[in-house]
Amino acid sequence: MKRSLVAAALGLLLASANAAVFDGTWRIDLSRPGGVTLHTFLILHEKGTQLEGKVVLNRSVDLPLRQPRLEGSDAAFSIEWGGAYRLHPEGDKLRVTIIYGGTSQEEATAIRVPEADANPPAAIPLPAVEAVPANGLARTPPMGWNSWNHFGEKVDDATVRQAADAMVSNGMAAAGYVYINIDDTWEGGRDATGKMVPNTKFPDMKALADYVHSRGLKLGIYSSPGPVTCGGYEGSYGHEEQDARTFAEWGIDYLKYDWCSAGRIYQDSDLPAAYQKMGRALARCGRPIVYSLCEYGAGDVWTWGTKVGANLWRTTGDIQDNWKSMSEIGFNQSRLAPSAGPGHWNDPDMLEVGNGGMSNAEYRTHFSLWCLLAAPLIAGNDLQTMSAATREILNNREVIAVDQDPLGRQAQRRAAQAGIEIWSRPLAAGGLAVGIFNRNDQESPAALSWAQFGLPAKPKALRDLWQHCDLEPAADGWQGRIPAHGVVLLIVK
Ligand code: GLA
Q: Which of 128, 143, 134 is closest to 305 using CA atoms? A: 134
- pLDDT tens readout for residues 353-364: 999 999 999 999
473 lines ligand 1 (CB under 6 A): no
- pLDDT tens readout for residues 291-326: 999 999 999 999 999 999 999 999 999 999 999 999
Q: Which residue's CA is minimally distant from atom 6 of ligand 1?
A: 184
Q: How far apart are CA 451 and CA 415, in angstroms?
A: 11
460 found inside a domain: yes
Chain centroid, CA 8 distance in Å: 53
Whether 324 and 471 map to the same domain: the answer is no
Distance from the alpha carbon of residue 232 to the mean position of ligand 1, in angstroms:
11
Whether 396 and 422 map to the same domain: the answer is no
What pLDDT sits at residue 102?
A: 80
Whether 160 and 105 map to the same domain: the answer is no
Q: How far apart are CA 488 and CA 468, in angstroms?
A: 11
Strand positions, DSSP E, 72-122:
74-78, 84-90, 93-100, 104-113
Whether 314 and 463 map to the same domain: the answer is no
Report the CATH number at residue 433: 2.60.40.1180
What pLDDT sits at residue 112?
A: 98
Could you give the number of structural domains in the chain? 3
229 lines ligand 1 (CB under 6 A): yes
Distance from the alpha carbon of residue 260 to the mean position of ligand 1, in angstroms:
8
Question: What percent of the chain shows pLDDT beyond 90?
Answer: 93
Q: Which residue's CA is minimally distant from atom 9 of ligand 1?
A: 318
Instruction: Find the domain containing 323 and state its range.
Output: 143-403
Q: How far apart are CA 140 and CA 311, in angstroms?
A: 10
Q: Which residue's CA is minimally distant from atom 11 of ligand 1?
A: 230
Q: How far apart are CA 363 and CA 150, in angstroms?
A: 15
148 lines ligand 1 (CB under 6 A): yes
The residue whose CB lies within 8 Å of the most ligand 1 atoms, and thus the one to mutate among 318, 321, 378, is 318
448 found inside a domain: yes
Active-site residue set: 258, 318
Whether 114 and 238 map to the same domain: the answer is no
The residue whose CB lies within 8 Å of the most ligand 1 atoms, and thus the one to mutate among 145, 148, 233, 295, is 148
Q: Is the dihedral of CA 183, 189, 192, 193 positive or negative?
A: positive
Q: Which residues of the chain have pLDDT under 50?
A: 1-2, 7-17
The residue whose CB lies within 8 Å of the most ligand 1 atoms, and thus the one to mutate among 230, 313, 320, is 230
Q: How far apart are CA 405 and CA 372, in angstroms?
A: 10
Any residues with CB less than 8 A from the CB of 103 and at least 6 apart, and which? none
What pLDDT sits at residue 210?
A: 99
DSSP per-residue letters across 371-411: HHTT--EEE-S-TTT--HHHHHHHT-HHHHHHHT-TT-PPP
Whether 244 and 299 map to the same domain: the answer is yes
Q: Is the dihedral of CA 262, 264, 265, 268 positive or negative?
A: positive
249 lines ligand 1 (CB under 6 A): no
Q: How far apart are CA 145 and CA 178, in angstroms?
A: 8
Whether 354 and 479 map to the same domain: the answer is no
275 found inside a domain: yes
Q: Which residue's CA is minimally distant from atom 5 of ligand 1?
A: 230
123 found inside a domain: no
Strand positions, DSSP E, 259-338:
290-294, 312-314
What pLDDT sits at residue 81?
A: 83
223 lines ligand 1 (CB under 6 A): no
Report the CATH number at residue 307: 3.20.20.70
Whether 453 and 397 map to the same domain: the answer is no
304 lines ligand 1 (CB under 6 A): no
Q: Which residue's CA is minimally distant from atom 8 of ligand 1?
A: 318
284 found inside a domain: yes
Whether 113 and 235 map to the same domain: the answer is no
Report the CATH number at residue 29: 2.40.128.20
Whether 386 and 448 map to the same domain: the answer is no
Distance from the alpha carbon of residue 208 to the mean position of ligand 1, in angstroms:
22
- pLDDT tens readout for residues 421-458: 999 999 999 999 999 999 999 999 999 999 888 888 99
What pLDDT sits at residue 16?
A: 46
